[in-house]
Structure 1
Amino acid sequence: MQTHRGRVACAATAGVLAVLSLVTACGGGDEGGKAAAKSTPPTVAADAAGVVAPAKVEVIAGLTGCQVKIRTEADELREGVCRTKEGDYLITTFPAEKYKLTWLDSAAVYGGKYLVGTRWVVSAKPALLEQLRPRLGGTIQQLRGVGPTAPSAS
């Protein structure tokens, strides 16, 4: 059974892919990206290194201690799923900042909190986002949903 956040992430991804396919042309594959994806990601914390995590799913996953499973490969975004003892989360990266902004606009319909960096977004429960932020950098953004608020399942 898929969780509410999982349905939201799937719907947001589908919406973004539909919108982006209308405004972008089909691009070629990145031959060099496959070899780079196999390299070992750094394990230094983002704050300790004084940098923000780069927009590469595998590198961001490495910074969080996750063995990522890629679930979406598209010209406009890449998305990977992390399952850890701290919780599950999605890492979405974009080849350009404009794609991230379009994705955030689409996700705003559903509301929720997201950890947002340059060309990347992490979707998780708010407590987990707080744990990941020191390792990745970025800012936690609250997106407003549209429509009636569903009762909380406490």
Structure 2
Amino acid sequence: MRTRAAVAVAALSLVAGCSTAHPAAPSHGAPAAPKTATGSLEQLAAKARCTPDIQTEARELRQANCATGQGRYVLLTFATDRGQREWLNSAEDYGGTYLLGRRWVAVGDTGVVAALRGRLGGTVEAGSQHHQGSSGSGGSEGHSGHHTS
């Protein structure tokens, strides 16, 4: 799982742009999000109006790159809640904005995530980006301070 998670984190850093993170909170003036979507990676991608480009196909997680009129993002689904949380604990150190549902995450720029939230519902989290210069080879054990939904 650690190798697949590392690949997913590397892909997300390309989308999230480690040096260009945006502030973390959803807009207070944003319209209410719909009920949080559920389903397979393909079902979630269809709701988000994306044709998924599958990058990782594993028992623990599935990952696809997506692009819409608002921009590019990474969509991931997880086999377990624990797997999702472990991935988030590692990934949030790289910055970016995360849209969270039950056993799925979408990662992209703030504007892309806001548009996706209008289609998929979910909760927005932001990465801390305190590892900007990191090569990504270190572990994520001991990290805390992230917000849980």
Equivalence for 2:121: 137
SS for the counterpart of 1:67 is coil
Query: 2:96, 2:127 within 8 Å by CA — same for their partners in 1?
Result: yes
- Extract unaligned runs of 5+ from structure 2: 1-6, 14-32, 134-149
Q: Secondary structure at the residue paired with 1:60?
A: helix
Give percent identity, aligned residues only: 36
Higher-Rg structure is 1
| Cα distance change on mapping 1:115 and 1:148 into 2, 3 Å | closer
Q: Distance in 2 between matches of 1:148 and 1:137?
A: 29
Which stretches in structure 1 are left out of the alignment for 5+ residues?
A: 1-6, 14-45, 150-154
Report which structure shows greater RCO (CA 8 Å, sep ≥6). 2
Paired residues, number: 108
TM-score norm. by structure 2 comes to 0.64
- 1:10 and 2:10 aligned: yes
Answer 1 or 2: which has greater helix percent: 1
Could you tell me the TM-score, scaled by structure 1's length? 0.62
CA offsets, 1:74-98, max 9 Å, x none?
1110001112222111100001100
2:137 aligns with none
Deviation at 1:123, TM superposition (A): 0.7
Letter in 2 for 1:84: T
Q: CA–CA distance in 2 between the matches of 1:73 and 1:98? A: 18
